[in-house]
Amino acid sequence: GSTIGILGGGQLGRMMAVAAAQLGYKVIGYAPAGDNVAADLCHDFFENGWGDKPALAAFAAKCDVVTWEFENVPLSAVEMIPAGMLAPDPRALETAQDRVKEKRFIEDMGGRPAAYMAVGSDDEFKQAVERVGAPGILKTARDGYDGKGQWRVSSLRDADSVRFPGKSCVYESMVDFEAEFSVILVRGTDGEVRFWDSTANVHEEGMLATSTYPPSASVSAQIEEARQLAARVAEALRYVGVLTLEFFATANGPVFNEMAPRVHNSGHWTIEGAATSQFENHVRAICGLPLGSTATRFAHVEMRNIVGEDALTAHEILAEDGEAHLHLYGKKEAREGRKMGHVTRVGHAAG
């Protein structure tokens, strides 16, 4: 087919649409009304609610293949799209939308999340803090992103100061990590899997700040084990497209944090830093094209997010560094803690 439908209207969809256009595809987006920055790059964009079944049907009728850029698209909306048109398989979405389901699934796959307990009430939360210990983090099971819906518990006594949010949650122990990294892979319709190199990911206030290649030696030593888990996950889900798993590199090996059944912020560096970007390979995979090389093209790569009002002066980067690759997403309002763009710098090794 030649028309790609994307559920969700954020920057991931926008960058996916750019890659799709380069390969000659037409893109149609769908997301509820809002600051849908993917819309400008789409041939057509449906601004309708996730519960609008006629609109979803009209959207699907215009597409040959449908994917998503947002992992919290309600399953009920995804189920309105004929199953044969969807890539990846919606089972990946179902698993990743619930942190408890996701951790159990990863354990079944032989992976190791932080110690955790599912909690459904304030009493259960208090019990979990006793059993799992502190420090730890209470996270809503669903709908969290960029560190939203998370409360840190620094000591056993501190649990009283956290108000249970009244919805299904998971309490997990705070991992003492050396670094964070992600494994990003693409799997084709024929089952071929390719990995990009892993970057070291630094988070600030629960949100990705920078991704740097190469990562430290302590991360590098753990990538192979993490990749094997990611490949088993992709296989089990008969995944088609780009899949991301986040890890903590610890003294005892890689600890699974969470997965994203989509292109990922920690893969933005691949636009300039790799032979084929995560966005292009996602498009290739879902359209049944041969996958492109995921090889890193430079000795050093750094991606830095531009958050909140920093976007207002982001053009200064261009004057400071003629080789900086600036990406701005065109969001209308530079709210605090909002991802507005990113800048990637690539370089050859010195000497």
The binding site for ligand ATP (CB under 6 A) comprises: 114, 137, 139, 144-148, 172, 174-175, 180, 203, 206, 246, 257-258
Min CB(153)–ligand ATP separation in Å: 11
CA 319-321-324 angle, to 5 degrees, is: 115
User: How many residues sit close enough to Mg ion to count as binding (CB under 5 A)?
Assistant: 2
99 belongs to an annotated ligand binding site = yes
Judged by CB, which is closer to ligand ATP: 323, or 336? 336
Min CB(130)–Mg ion separation in Å: 26
282 belongs to an annotated ligand binding site = no
Min CB(246)–Mg ion separation in Å: 5
Q: How far apart are CA 140 and CA 186, in angstroms?
A: 28
Q: How far apart are CA 92 and CA 87, in angstroms?
A: 10
333 belongs to an annotated ligand binding site = no
Min CB(257)–Mg ion separation in Å: 6
φ, ψ for residue 152 (rounded to 5)?
Answer: -90, 140
Q: Omega into 165 within 30° of 0, i.e. cis?
A: no
172 belongs to an annotated ligand binding site = yes
Binding partner of residue 214 among ligand ATP, Mg ion, none, CB cut-off 5 to 8 Å per kind: none
Residues contacting residue 110 through CB under 8 Å, at least 6 positions apart: 229, 232
Judged by CB, which is closer to ligand ATP: 202, or 295? 202
Judged by CB, which is closer to ligand ATP: 165, or 206? 206
Q: Is 330 left (phi over 0), alpha (psi -120 to 50) or beta?
A: left
139 belongs to an annotated ligand binding site = yes
175 belongs to an annotated ligand binding site = yes
Min CB(331)–ligand ATP separation in Å: 16
Binding partner of residue 137 among Mg ion, ligand ATP, none, CB cut-off 5 to 8 Å per kind: ligand ATP
**Residues 257-286 interacting with Mg ion (rule: CB under 5 A):** 258
Judged by CB, which is closer to ligand ATP: 147, or 330? 147
Which residues contact Mg ion by CB under 5 A? 246, 258
Q: Which residue ranges are tagged as binding site for ATP?
A: 99, 139, 144-150, 172-175, 180, 203, 257-258
